[in-house]
């Protein structure tokens, strides 16, 4: 085994036999099927996959808790296995006593724990209750203490199984920070989670499907691919999203009969764009809305929402932010356009939503003049004239400096790049 390798897994299989007393037959189930991969020292690897794909079994085998049916595993260094936070805690023992029991269970000597015990207690934030039996602890205290023990002891390899999914927001944040510190200090980390956000800091990802290794490469690319695939499969059953095609968005099956406005067309234009639904990240994107305003004495403002594949808004933009740009009060045909600069999107799938709001500025100023929110009446709400949710789906292909490469080490924000106006001056 090379010294730069932390984990080496070869032809690993794990077969479970169904309990004959309940099923009556001797069928078996392959939780892991011939997995081979290796992890270098100092790498952090996300393990993703649907429920029941074998992720947790893999971690259990790596932890030595479950014996493989065939194949070998080599681990270089001390392994911390956090398959379940607080395993080995005894309810009757005090927090402090449990620190020692748990630390020794994880393979540390009393002396090593002694040197860390103050920090463990400080990080957990339960100094006041540290001599109380843990059965009297709240869930949060219990978790904080358990997590604190593991991250303060000096392991080489950390196996985390859904550890961040259990605590409150505060706990999640400090734990994530702590995991980042471990990562930056060169520890090897394997992290199983269903929350892709928690995995965004990893170097590489392993996807396991039905006990097989489906793919194993850079996280920034693979995690977004994975999320997109999951959501594409979800969306495949719904037909309300029009795939974007040839610049002009098809609005026929959107409700476009409105007393106030009628949308003539909405188009997305990019230089060099021919057909299909793929735009380039290195060219500006123009969104043009052509509409007929049917009534006088009011303004209509459009809000553009760009959503990621999970349906979260990535950003919102509107001309309404600037009073001068607001539409005129009279009726007639209007064309509004919005320019998204080049190098603004990181390559991904996005949805567009447009919301048309009546007398936006009047509502703004009404709300601003209110001294407290309790007095805001329902009349002060923004009046939505027309909401076109997810009218188009488009894919942005990532180009930087006119060529596709692997930019995963840049740690670019998952959805957006900072293609804003920069100036450099030499003093």
Partner 1 sequence: MPTSVKTYSSKPDSIWDALKKLWAFKSLIWVFAKRDLQVKYAQTVFGFGWSIAKPLIGLGIYVFFFGLVLNWNSNDIPYPIYVLTGLIGWNLFSYTVTSGISSVQESSDLIRKIYFPKSILPLSKTLVGVIEGLISFLLLVPLFVYYSISFSWHILLLPIVLFYTTLCGLFLVFVISSLAIKKRDLLQVVPFFLNMAIWLTPVFFSASIFPVKYQFLMTYNPIANMVELWRWIFFENIAFQSVWGINFVLMLFFALSSFYFFTWQEQKFSDY
Please give the residue ranges that form the binding site for partner 1 (CB under 8 A).
Answer: 1, 16-17, 19, 21, 60-79, 81, 83-84, 87-88, 90, 92-93, 97, 100-101, 104-107, 109-110, 133, 154, 156
* Of 92 and 259, CB closest to partner 1: 92
Least distance (Å) from partner 1 to the CB of residue 233? 32
Nearer to partner 1, 19 or 237 (CB): 19
What does the block give as tokens for 193?
């989670």
- Residue 407 Rama label (left phi>0; alpha psi -120 to 50; beta): alpha
Copy the structure tokens of residue 31. 């939780």
For residue 253, the minimal CB distance to partner 1 (Å) is: 52
Q: Which is nearer to partner 1, 156 or 342 (CB)?
A: 156
Measure Cα distances from 153 to 7, 146, 183, 324 in Å.
Answer: 20, 12, 14, 60
- 339: tokens are 């320019």
Q: How far is the CB of 59 from partner 1 (least distance, A)?
A: 10
Closest distance of CB 132 from partner 1, Å: 12
Structure tokens at 51: 């429920």
Q: Which two tokens stand for residue 27?
A: 């069928």
CB-nearer residue toward partner 1: 156 or 278: 156
Q: Which is nearer to partner 1, 76 or 201 (CB)?
A: 76
Cβ 21 to partner 1 shortest distance, Å? 8
CB of 133 to partner 1, least distance (A): 7
Residue 50 CB, nearest approach to partner 1 (Å): 22
First to last CA, the chain: 54
Q: Phi, psi (5° rounding) for residue 68?
A: -70, 150
* DSSP secondary structure letter of residue 250: P
* Token output for 322: 């600037």
- From 340, 342, 329, 333, select the one nearest 305 (Cα to Cα): 340
Rounded Cα–Cα distance for residues 397 and 394 (Å): 10
Residue closer to partner 1 (CB basis): 75 or 392 = 75
The H-assigned helical ranges of 136-259 are 139-152, 169-184, 219-235
CB nearer partner 1, residue 1 or residue 418: 1
């Amino acid at each position: 085994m090379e010294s730069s390798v932390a984990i080496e897994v070869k032809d690993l299989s794990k077969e479970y036999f169904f309990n004959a007393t309940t099923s009556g037959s001797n069928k078996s189930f392959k939780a892991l099927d011939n997995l081979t991969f290796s992890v270098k020292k100092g790498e952090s690897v996300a393990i993703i996959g649907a429920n029941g794909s074998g992720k947790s079994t893999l971690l259990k085998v790596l932890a030595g808790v479950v014996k493989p049916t065939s194949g070998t595993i080599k681990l270089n260094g001390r392994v911390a296995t956090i398959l379940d936070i607080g395993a080995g805690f005894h309810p009757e023992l005090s927090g402090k006593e449990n620190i020692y029991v748990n630390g020794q269970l994880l393979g540390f000597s009393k002396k090593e724990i002694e040197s860390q015990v103050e920090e463990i207690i400080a990080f957990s934030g339960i100094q006041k209750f540290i001599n109380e039996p843990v059965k009297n602890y709240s869930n949060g205290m219990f978790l904080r203490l358990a997590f604190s023990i593991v991250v303060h002891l000096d392991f080489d390899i950390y196996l985390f199984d859904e550890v961040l999914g259990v605590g409150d927001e505060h706990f999640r944040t400090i734990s994530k920070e702590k995991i980042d510190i471990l990562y930056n200090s060169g520890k090897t980390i394997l992290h199983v989670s269903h929350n892709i956000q928690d995995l965004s800091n990893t170097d590489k990802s392993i996807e396991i499907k039905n006990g097989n290794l489906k793919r194993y490469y850079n996280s920034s690319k693979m995690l977004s691919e994975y999320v997109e695939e999951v959501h594409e499969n979800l969306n495949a059953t719904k037909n309300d999203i029009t795939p974007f095609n040839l610049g002009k968005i098809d609005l026929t099956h959107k409700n476009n009969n409105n007393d106030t406005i009628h949308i003539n067309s909405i188009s997305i234009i990019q230089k060099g764009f021919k057909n299909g639904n793929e735009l380039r990240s290195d060219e500006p994107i123009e969104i043009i809305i052509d509409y007929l305003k049917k009534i006088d004495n009011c303004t209509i403002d459009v809000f553009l929402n760009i959503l990621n594949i999970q349906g979260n808004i990535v950003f919102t933009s509107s001309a309404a932010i600037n009073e001068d740009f607001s539409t005129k009060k009279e009726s007639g045909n209007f064309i509004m356009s919005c320019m998204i600069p080049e190098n603004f999107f990181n390559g991904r799938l996005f949805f567009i939503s447009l919301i048309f709001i009546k007398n936006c500025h009047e509502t703004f100023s009404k709300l601003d003049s209110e001294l407290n929110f309790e007095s805001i009446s329902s009349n002060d709400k923004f009046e939505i004239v027309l909401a076109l949710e997810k009218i188009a789906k488009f894919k942005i292909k990532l180009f930087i400096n006119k060529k596709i490469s692997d930019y995963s080490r840049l740690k670019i924000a998952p959805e957006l790049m900072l293609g804003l106006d920069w100036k450099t001056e030499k003093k």
